[in-house]
Amino acid sequence: MTSALANPPRLSVRDLSIGNRTAFVHRVSFDVRAGRILAMVGESGSGKTLIGRSILRLLPENIHQLGGSILYHGRELSGLSRHEIRQLRGGRIGMVFQEPLVSLNPALRIGTQMAEGLKLHLKLGPDEIRGRCVEMLKRIHVPRPEECLAAYPHQFSGGMRQRIMLASVMLLRPDLLIADEPTTALDTLSQREVIETMLELTREVGTSVLLITHNLGLVGKYADDAVVLGRGEIVENGTASEVIGRPRHPYTRRLVGSLPHRRIAAAAPAGEPILVARGLELSFRVTSRSILQAKRIRVLRGVSLTVRRGETVAVVGGSGSGKTTLGRALLRLIDVDHGSIEYRSTDVTRWSDRRLHSFRRACQIVFQDPFSSLDPRMSVDALVGEALRHAGPLTPAERQARIETALSEVGLPGHAGRLPHQLSGGQRQRVALARAIVGDPELLVADEPIAALDMTVQKQILELFQRLQAQRGFACIFISHDLAAVQQIAHRIVVMHEGRIVEEGPTDAIFENPRHEYTQRLLAASPLLEAVSPSASQAAVLSEVEQ
């Protein structure tokens, strides 16, 4: 108690309930103390975003605070007038959202947007505003800050945009920052940059942080305290190292258990090559101001890759490394400029769509976003059945049987009549998987298939991948930005950077002895492996979970 008195909480939430007719968040209490980082962990639907938004009264329409109190420096926030809460927003309590792509206005220059808060809250003159903005951009190591102020958001990468967003929030030196999944939409390297920028800036100002996230790796590495939220209730509360290191509640254990863990990778099966790509080159034309000189961006710069029967090759790289393009090119969904693609020793590089029928049947793809890769008007069985259109003559009964087998193999028996919007993200990804495997492919390209999913669901889908591969023996190209996830299932890892393969080798070798500097950076930025290595405690947890 004495320590609590000496260090009174900046933000103290007591018995907070949020909902409309039913409560989505039940009697949640937590404290954010001065200068500390509190991580609020939970999966989608756990209500963590609602809690973050309720503090600044930014709840969506028809969802309200039902009860409880939110005390900021001992002052009740829910009793404040609209005017008073507007003064807190931005000025005293800053907020950073998940999507830097949409939280910066694409039509306004960076400088204008950074100046907004300063103008509103501090009433500074234009020169002073400009000076402060430039200083802040220098502070976060933005090259050429003067030019940056005149630029538009689309000229920056996602990670850069998020850092600029952070900088403009921190310009006002708020004493509480609410960061709602600030790194979720980013690749591993940018994640790290954004988080570290956030730490530096908040430490300087002495800002407390409420970090809302589903990424336990971040929590272990960066947060001081943690609360775990499950179904709108707090299930566990403590310091971050306690919560991650010795989780008590079964839900937390399940979350911790779903962290990817090191295992000794199996040796790659030495089957015959299915797909051999040699020297792939591809460039996209980008629209430039003049029609005459179209600029080209080289996305693939001489990529060669062999995939053998039954093996899983992970293609890893940051956003913009060309890994997704490589996946599309290997499946002949986009045409390459140079190089060759051989499928079972036949060159299919220039085949027309019409000739590619058997190739298409044998090589399937699973996309990143299960929300947009399924036709919203088709039921699950129609979606899966469509993949059998080119599978040769089948009687309706055979067809039905194969659809049902595929659905039960992915763990969705009895879901045949559902429409995509009636399924959760994980279930949709299972449907996409069923569609890919129903025709018995030889090769599956999985383009970031778990990036859009929750941690526990990620784990389930990864395990499903492994099981299906063991059963059906297809080869798999697994594209991901997340080394930690990949090492669970990959036999071989290919690291891509700026359109080239910079390192390639068996999974264990890459993890234990990364040679290329970029690989080393990727590994270092992967928070899970450092913070929660396969320690004895985690092994114990895992065995308990499995029981």
Partner 1 sequence: MTARLDSRSRLRLLAGGLLGAIVLALSIVAIFWTPLDPNRLDVLHRLNAPDIRNLFGTDEFGRDVLSRAMTGGTTSLTVAILTVAAAIAVGSTIGFLTGFFRGWTDRLVMILNDTLLAFPGILLALGLSAVMGPRKYGTVLALSVAYTPKVMRVVRGTVMSLREREYIEASRALGNGPVYTLVRHIVPNAVAPIAVLATAMFGWAILMESALSFLGLGVPPPAATWGNMLATARPYLTSAPWLSVIPGMLIAATLLSVNLLGDSLRDWLDPRM
Q: What residues line the site for partner 1 (CB under 8 A)? A: 331, 333, 353-354, 356-357, 360-361, 364-365, 367, 369, 372-377, 386-387, 389-390, 419, 421, 432, 435
> Which CB atom, from 281 or from 369, has the smaller least distance to partner 1?
369
> Which CB atom, from 370 or from 499, has the smaller least distance to partner 1?
370
* Of the candidates 366, 374, 461, the residue with the CA atom closest to the CA atom of residue 418: 374
> Which CB atom, from 191 or from 480, has the smaller least distance to partner 1?
480
* Of the candidates 480, 396, 472, 477, the residue with the CA atom closest to the CA atom of residue 434: 472
Q: Do residues 224 and 10 touch, judged by C-beta distance below 8 A? A: no
Tokens of 215: 């990424």
Distance spanning both ends of the chain, measured CA to CA:
38
Beta bridge partners of 34: none
> Which CB atom, from 60 or from 206, has the smaller least distance to partner 1?
60
**Residue 306 buriedness (CB in 10 A; 0-12 / 13-18 / 19+):** middle
CB of 336 vs partner 1, minimal distance in Å: 16
Q: Do residues 303 and 326 touch, judged by C-beta distance below 8 A? A: yes
Alpha helices by DSSP H, 125-187? 126-139, 145-150, 158-170
> Which CB atom, from 194 or from 326, has the smaller least distance to partner 1?
326
* Of the candidates 425, 302, 322, the residue with the CA atom closest to the CA atom of residue 44: 425
How far is Cα 93 from Cα 172, in angstroms, rounded to an integer? 9
CB of 420 vs partner 1, minimal distance in Å: 8
Q: Which residues contact 467 (CB under 8 A, 6 or more apart)?
A: none
CB of 171 vs partner 1, minimal distance in Å: 37
CB of 354 vs partner 1, minimal distance in Å: 8
> Which CB atom, from 246 or from 360, has the smaller least distance to partner 1?
360
Q: Do residues 308 and 319 touch, judged by C-beta distance below 8 A? A: no
CB of 432 vs partner 1, minimal distance in Å: 8
> Which CB atom, from 81 or from 287, has the smaller least distance to partner 1?
287
CB of 55 vs partner 1, minimal distance in Å: 30
